[in-house]
Amino acid sequence: MGKVSEGFWRFIAAAMLFAVCWSLWIFYQLNPPAVVTSAAFEAAAKARATPSAQGIIQPAPPPGDTVKLKLSESLAVPVEKN
């Protein structure tokens, strides 16, 4: 009976250690280091300061002769014409 109890407590200790390590890993992933964050802010500021041709949103061209689809006014079964 003593061996079963010892094995059980070793399993519980290993499970608790795993849970603590997993929680610390998740906390680290949710809070990135400040060095990476400041570099990202600097890159974003530099990108805003120098607009490129690809980053500018152009207005939509004026509508021309486009084909429009005719929508049905109701959900009825179509009637075949003979």
More confident residue, 20 or 67: 20
Q: State both tokens at 7.
A: 């094995």
**17 band by pLDDT with thresholds 50, 70 and 90:** very high
Q: Cα torsion for 50, 52, 56, 62, to the nearest 10°?
A: 150
pLDDT for the residue numbered 39: 81
**% of residues, the chain, pLDDT over 90:** 23
| Average pLDDT value for the chain | 79
**41 band by pLDDT with thresholds 50, 70 and 90:** confident
Q: State both tokens at 51.
A: 């607009």
Residue 48 has pLDDT above 90, yes or no: no
